[in-house]
Amino acid sequence: MKLMVGEKGLETARPLRGIDHVLVGVRDLEAARQTYARLGFTVSARGRHIGWGTANYCIMFPDDYIELLGIVDPSQFTNNLNRFLESREGLLGLAFASDDVMLAERALRRAGIEPGEMRDLKRILEDPEGEVWPRFKLLHLPPEATPGTSAFICQHLTPELVWRPEWCKHANSARGLIAMTSVVKDPSALAIPYAELFGFDRVRAGDGVVEVDCGGAGGDSGRGSVWLRFTTAEMLGALHPGLVGAPRQPTPWLAALRVAVEDLGLCATTLERNHMPVHWDGPRLLRVPAQAACGVLMEFTEEA
């Protein structure tokens, strides 16, 4: 399979528009909401997945978002979130953006990839002005297509219900996702699968690190691509000094998330005012340790 998503015409054949959102599994959803509010994020109204035992809060940006996902009824289907939370909190996967998951499914099958079951998902959004029901189509990807992380494709059928201007404005001046880091045994083994999915011009490999340019989400913000980075446990400390001393997990595990902000000084002031631990890495990057952000090493930088 040699599908170059960046080539002319293939965006239509396989409409992956970058990363739609990343998922953070949390044990106490209300406590996580408070934590991310202290990180300076505006947190959406709570959503409850219909027919599932899970609920969420979202941190919305113009082109993508962070989903805080927790269990509110363990007697119902949790999509294995309960198993994940037995070992830790933190990043558990991601969703790629698509305008047409049925078209994406056909393209994947033509390319020799057997996707999982397509699902229709609704959630009740507990809006102060009355409940609304955002709707989505989800298509899960097999592990061999996206090694090093769990991923699915997401099509928003009612984007106007979740992308609200007031939810996209944050006290820390956050604008969107930049990168997510996954720890794997052998990053070089992941280069070909991701090159086949996104194009060989979208993958770059270095000493112990493979980076995948997933493209932009296609919004109006004018921001650049979001990156997936894969590295080894040995290299993790060099990439993210804030993780030194943090508990290691069996590979693969998603360790860090980098977020773009408009004003790094304002971001630092907001974090310090909210009594969050802040660690500077030079003048252009600051980190909040994973222990203070529900298992996610959270990095903030002014996007170039």
The rounded distance, in Å, linking the Cα atoms of 18 and 64 is 9
Q: Give the confidence band of 247 by pLDDT, cuts at 50, 70, 90.
A: low
Q: Give the confidence band of 242 by pLDDT, cuts at 50, 70, 90.
A: low
pLDDT over 70, % of the chain: 90
**What are the tens digits of pLDDT across the range 19-61?**
999 999 999 999 999 999 999 999 999 999 988 999 999 999 9
**What are the tens digits of pLDDT across the range 114-125?**
888 899 988 999
Q: Give the confidence band of 287 by pLDDT, cuts at 50, 70, 90.
A: very high
Task: Give the pLDDT score at 172.
Answer: 98
Task: Give the pLDDT score at 304.
Answer: 57
Q: Give, in degrees to the nearest 5, the angle at Cα 146 between 141 and 147.
A: 130
**What are the tens digits of pLDDT across the range 130-147?**
889 999 999 999 999 999
| Residue showing tokens 């930088």 | 301
pLDDT, the chain, mean: 88
Task: Give the pLDDT score at 66.
Answer: 98
E strand map for the chain: 19-25, 47-49, 54-60, 65-71, 90-97, 118-125, 135-140, 151-156, 174-183, 203-206, 209-213, 227-231, 253-261, 279-280, 285-288, 297-302
Spell out a b/e string for 106-133, using b for 16 or more CB atoms within 10 Å of the CB, else e: ebbeeeebebeebeeebbbbeeeeeebe
**What are the tens digits of pLDDT across the range 73-126?**
999 999 899 999 999 999 999 999 999 999 889 888 887 788 888 999 889 998
Report, at the CATH architecture level, how domain 172-302 is classified: Roll (3.10)
For residues 250-270, give the mean pLDDT.
96
Q: Give the confidence band of 62 by pLDDT, cuts at 50, 70, 90.
A: very high
- Check whether 300 has a pLDDT greater than 50: yes
Task: Give the pLDDT score at 223.
Answer: 62
- Check whether 212 has a pLDDT greater than 70: yes
Task: Give the pLDDT score at 9.
Answer: 32
- Check whether 10 has a pLDDT greater than 50: no
For residues 163-173, give the mean pLDDT.
97
CATH number attached to the domain at 10-166: 3.10.180.10
Task: Give the pLDDT score at 93.
Answer: 95
Task: Give the pLDDT score at 157.
Answer: 96
Domain boundary assignment for the chain: 10-166, 172-302
- Check whether 221 has a pLDDT greater than 80: no
- The least confident of 86-100, 232-246, 284-298 is 232-246
- Check whether 14 has a pLDDT greater than 50: no
